[in-house]
Amino acid sequence: MVEGSCLCGGTAYRLSGALRNSVACHCQQCRKTSGHYVSATQVGPEQLTVTKDDTLTWYQSSPGAFRGFCNKCGSSMFWRHVDDKGAVSVMSGTLDAPTGITTEKHIFVADKGDYYDIADDLPQHDQ
């Protein structure tokens, strides 16, 4: 079990079971919601228990997806499909250590910002 929260503690959660390694997403939406790129693990909806949701707000960022964030401190926390039945991406930076995961790859690198380089040897995918 791994726990996590936003910066101010207004939203907190618990993850059960095995976690997918983190995937770094460089798409424009992730960059705009986080201020840089996002790295997220992913769990099935049954693995995520929100233990405190005082400040949790869901924003429909595109026709197919919602993003969960703290409406007090602004922490970007979750990403899920609109159907709410599939996997939930959980921003790795909101996890309390130890997480037991590592970053496994970069996605949407064709959209990455021009102000940084990807300086590791992990696989990179344009989409």
Distance CA 9, CA 83 (A): 27
Q: Which two tokens stand for residue 97?
A: 């250590």
pLDDT of the residue at 104: 98
Distance CA 109, CA 127 (A): 7
Cα–Cα distances (Å) from 29 to 4, 6, 36, in that order, read 23, 19, 10
Question: Per residue in 24-80, pLDDT tens?
Answer: 999 999 999 999 999 999 999 999 999 999 999 999 999 999 999 999 999 999 999
For the chain, list the domains and their CATH numbers. Answer: 2-111 (2.170.150.70)
pLDDT of the residue at 86: 86
Q: What whole-number percentage of the chain has pLDDT above 90?
A: 96
Q: Are 24 and 103 in contact (CB under 8 A)?
A: yes
